[in-house]
């Protein structure tokens, strides 16, 4: 193991321990009751707050109960059902198409592999990793969103800017059984303590811990 990797691993352990202290139990903010709903909520959450998504899915998941309901939905009506999320027309089309793909190709089940998930509409690696991790507890990858990109660079776990390269760096230092909770915790930490907007960064809990190492 080279020195850079050793230093990143040391930082990860300090950060992970502090995040565990701050968030002893953690779960995804998005509301869902099955893996299909998780997929839908994940698509809706792109460039939209989780709070807004939960407001919309509260009614949506009552109106559409089964994948078949989504597959049969009228696009113009569904666009209105999810109005309020960014790019609602594109997302409405993608969700209805995905429902039909699942019906025709996957026996009404959300796929369990990265290769299959990224064949769905509006699903790239980040979204696929969320579905695999949260839905199936499969943590071969790591979901890299804007919080993860910013904070892992800020705290010295990577120097990469490309999400795929960041993911590869993180997979080298984060054990598979720690990935789901670490991803959820660092995202929540970004919201609660270390947002992108200007703040008293020198007193962020992770900075204080890392400076004591």
Query: What's the CATH code of the domain at 178?
Result: 1.10.1670.10
**Do 130 and 40 share a structural domain?**
yes
**Do 107 and 92 share a structural domain?**
yes
**Do 93 and 175 share a structural domain?**
no
**Do 14 and 40 share a structural domain?**
no
**Do 93 and 78 share a structural domain?**
yes
pLDDT band at 84 (very low <50, low <70, confident <90, very high): very high
> In the listed set 91, 106, 136, which residue is the last one of a domain according to the structure?
136
What local confidence, expressed as pLDDT, does residue 202 receive? 85
Cα–Cα dist 20/181, whole Å: 9
What local confidence, expressed as pLDDT, does residue 172 receive? 97
- Checking if the pLDDT of 30 tops 80, the result is yes
- Checking if the pLDDT of 213 tops 80, the result is no
Give me the long-range contacts of 148-152 (CB less than 8 A, separation at least 24). 148/183, 148/186, 148/187, 150/190, 150/196, 151/186, 151/189, 151/190, 151/194, 152/186
> In the listed set 85, 115, 136, which residue is the last one of a domain according to the structure?
136
**Do 176 and 112 share a structural domain?**
no
Parent domain of 160: 3-26+142-212
- Supply the DSSP string of 130-181, one letter for each residue: HIIIIIH---SS----HHHHHHHHHTTS----SHHHHHHHHHHHS-GGGHHH
**Do 129 and 148 share a structural domain?**
no
**Do 83 and 40 share a structural domain?**
yes
**Do 150 and 132 share a structural domain?**
no
Side-chain half-sphere exposure of 43, counting CA atoms within 13 A:
26
pTM, whole model, 2 decimals?
Answer: 0.94
pLDDT tens profile 101-151: 999 999 999 999 999 999 999 999 999 999 999 999 999 999 999 999 999
- What's the number of domains the chain is made of? 2
**Do 128 and 147 share a structural domain?**
no
Q: What is the mean pLDDT of residues 54-60?
A: 97
Q: What is the mean pLDDT of residues 19-37?
A: 97
> In the listed set 136, 163, 182, which residue is the last one of a domain according to the structure?
136
- Checking if the pLDDT of 210 tops 80, the result is yes
């Amino acid at each position: 193991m080279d020195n850079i990797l050793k230093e990143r691993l040391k930082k990860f352990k300090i950060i992970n321990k502090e995040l565990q202290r701050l968030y002893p139990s953690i779960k995804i903010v998005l509301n869902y009751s099955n893996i299909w709903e998780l997929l839908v909520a994940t698509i809706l959450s792109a460039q939209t707050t989780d709070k807004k998504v939960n407001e919309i899915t509260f009614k949506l998941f009552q109106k559409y109960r089964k994948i078949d309901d989504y597959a049969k939905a009228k696009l113009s009506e569904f666009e209105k059902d999810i109005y309020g999320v960014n790019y609602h027309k594109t997302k409405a089309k993608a969700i209805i198409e995905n429902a039909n793909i699942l019906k025709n190709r996957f026996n009404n089940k959300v796929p369990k592999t990265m290769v299959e998930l990224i064949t769905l509409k509006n699903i790239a690696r980040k979204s696929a990793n969320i579905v695999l991790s949260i839905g199936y507890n499969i943590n071969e990858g790591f979901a890299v969103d804007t919080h993860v990109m910013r904070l892992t660079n800020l705290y010295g776990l990577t120097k990469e800017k490309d999400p795929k390269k960041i993911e590869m760096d993180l997979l080298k230092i984060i054990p598979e059984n720690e990935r789901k909770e670490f991803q959820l915790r660092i995202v929540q930490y970004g919201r609660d303590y270390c947002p992108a907007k200007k703040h008293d960064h020198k007193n962020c809990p992770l900075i204080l811990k890392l400076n004591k190492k």
